[in-house]
């Protein structure tokens, strides 16, 4: 699972990224091998299954606080994109390349309109953030189009001569963007293109194809950042109406970063995503710190119910992508062989079955699958059983 954080310069992408990836290292192990400089580990939050069993879990990866389980996801902070990025403006084509493998995008915008098209600081409210929503769509579509069009004529001629299946051939070319054969078959049918005659497809056809494939492979959520600035809330309301196809989440990256830092320093108790913070050592705080924390409580948390950073990640993975979190466990015990209770929690795509989960745990468990058990209800279920978010599942296998 890779989440791409995108947007023009100076909107708060790096602040969002830093806030989302800042967790106490020792409690936040993660299962990803190599981490590039601009990539890090964030977490999605869910009500931990441990509370339903009146116990406390011991996560192997991520962490659990006040029975909220935090499951690792990989994030990438992509450098700022400007209009013309797909043509290489501001090194945009390189930065776009970083996004190839992303499963979902978080578009961070400056909803207060305090930065222009290029991301330069201007007077608050003098730029319409609706332009930013549109510009990024165009850049992403043109980027996809460029990849499709690269060597298109030669490709289309070869496919026609060899009577090859266009969706298979094209899927191979676009696999780097996570485009599958099924997606291409759907898109070609939807656009009523003749799969036998790709040479007859017009530039407009290819652009529409690019758009459909981009929407399928890079679903996007909008983090309406800098919601703390004057005029931001009015813009937020207006944009939500103008772009009903998007989910907008009011966000204050600065506040989340401050809370994470205060929490790490042991000054406050704050569970990421919560609507409140609790001062732990009021005597250790100076007046400035007290004022800053109280302002975050009153002006952000009380008004918007959270800073929006955690909510953005959760919405991207659980709502937009429709993933669910599944815990392996046993009917007779929740511990693994080392005594760790509910140590794992996996993110699975919507529609995953008991058999999919078995394969996710281990190929052998999938191959030798006998049945699965819903640990909460103790019900025995078969291969095709559809899992639900927060299920605890035992796999019974032969051998």
Ligand X SMILES: Nc1nc2c(ncn2[C@@H]2O[C@H](COP(=O)(O)OP(=O)(O)O)[C@@H](O)[C@H]2O)c(=O)[nH]1
Nearest to 11 by CA among 244, 240, 223: 223
86 binds ligand X (CB under 6 A): no
107 binds ligand X (CB under 6 A): no
CB 190 within 8 A of CB 212: yes
Site for ligand X in 12-31 (CB under 6 A): 12-15
Shortest CB 13 distance to Mg ion, Å: 5
- Residue 12 binds which of ligand X, Mg ion, none (CB < 5-8 A, kind-dependent): ligand X
Region near Mg ion per CB under 5 A, out of 8-16, 25-33, 90-98, 153-161: 8-16
Query: How far apart are alpha carbons 125 and 390 in whole angstroms?
Result: 42
CB 372 within 8 A of CB 381: yes
- At residue 328, φ and ψ (nearest 5 deg) are -80, 140
Shortest CB 88 distance to ligand X, Å: 19
Nearer to ligand X, 153 or 302 (CB): 302
- DSSP summary character for residue 385: P
Residues near ligand X (CB under 6 A), total: 16
235 binds ligand X (CB under 6 A): no
14 binds Mg ion (CB under 5 A): yes
Residues near Mg ion (CB under 5 A), total: 2
Site for ligand X in 236-255 (CB under 6 A): 252-254
Nearer to Mg ion, 56 or 94 (CB): 94
Output the six-digit token pair for 134. Answer: 């549109």
Query: How far apart are alpha carbons 311 and 391 in whole angstroms?
Result: 21
Interface pick for ligand X out of 211, 225, 235, 315 (rule CB under 6 A):
225
Nearest to 327 by CA among 301, 347, 312, 304: 347
Query: How far apart are alpha carbons 284 and 291 in whole angstroms?
Result: 13
- Residue 132 binds which of ligand X, Mg ion, none (CB < 5-8 A, kind-dependent): none
Shortest CB 113 distance to Mg ion, Å: 19
Query: How far apart are alpha carbons 250 and 232 in whole angstroms?
Result: 9
Q: Which residue has the tokens 């407009």?
A: 204
CB 395 within 8 A of CB 328: yes
Q: How is 70-87 classified by DSSP, letter by letter? A: EEEEEEEEPPP--TTGGG
Interface pick for ligand X out of 9, 195, 219, 231 (rule CB under 6 A):
9
61 binds Mg ion (CB under 5 A): no
Nearer to ligand X, 15 or 263 (CB): 15
Q: Which residues bind ligand X (CB under 6 A)?
A: 7, 9-15, 80, 225-226, 228-229, 252-254
Q: Which residues bind Mg ion (CB under 5 A)?
A: 13-14
């Amino acid at each position: 699972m890779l989440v791409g954080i995108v947007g023009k310069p100076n909107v708060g992408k790096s602040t969002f990224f830093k806030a989302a990836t800042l967790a106490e290292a020792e409690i936040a192990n993660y299962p990803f091998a190599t981490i590039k400089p601009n990539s890090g580990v964030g977490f999605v939050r869910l009500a931990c299954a441990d509370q339903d069993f009146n116990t406390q879990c011991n996560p192997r990866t991520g962490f659990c606080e006040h029975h909220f389980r935090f499951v690792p996801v990989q994030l990438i902070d992509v450098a700022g994109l400007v209009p013309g990025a797909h043509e290489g403006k501001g090194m945009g084509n390189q930065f776009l390349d970083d996004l190839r493998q992303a499963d979902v995008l978080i578009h961070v915008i400056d909803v207060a309109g305090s930065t222009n098209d290029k991301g330069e600081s201007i007077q608050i409210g003098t730029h319409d953030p609706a332009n930013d929503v549109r510009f990024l769509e165009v850049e992403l579509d043109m980027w996809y189009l460029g990849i499709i069009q690269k060597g298109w004529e030669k490709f289309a001629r070869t496919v026609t001569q060899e009577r090859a299946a266009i969706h298979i051939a094209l899927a191979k070319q676009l696999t780097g963007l996570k485009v599958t054969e099924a997606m291409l078959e759907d898109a070609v049918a939807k656009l009523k293109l003749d799969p036998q005659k790709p040479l007859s497809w017009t530039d407009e056809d290819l652009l529409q194809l690019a758009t459909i494939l981009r929407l399928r492979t890079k679903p996007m959520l909008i983090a309406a950042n800098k919601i703390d600035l004057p005029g931001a809330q009015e813009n937020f309301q207006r944009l939500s109406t103008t772009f009903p196809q998007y989910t907008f989440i009011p966000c204050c990256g600065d506040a989340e970063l401050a809370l994470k830092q205060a929490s790490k320093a042991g000054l406050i108790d704050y569970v990421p995503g919560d609507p409140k913070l609790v001062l732990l050592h009021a005597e250790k705080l100076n007046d400035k710190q007290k004022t800053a924390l109280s302002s975050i409580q009153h002006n952000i948390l009380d008004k918007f119910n959270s800073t929006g950073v955690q909510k953005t990640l959760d919405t991207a993975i659980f709502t937009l992508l429709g993933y669910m979190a599944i815990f392996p466990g046993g009917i007779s015990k929740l511990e693994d062989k080392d005594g760790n209770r509910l140590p794992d929690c996996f993110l699975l795509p919507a529609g995953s079955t008991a058999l999919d989960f078995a394969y996710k745990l281990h190929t052998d468990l999938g191959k030798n699958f006998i049945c699965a058990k819903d640990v909460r209800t103790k019900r025995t279920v078969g291969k095709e059983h559809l899992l639900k978010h927060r299920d605890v599942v035992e796999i019974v296998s032969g051998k």
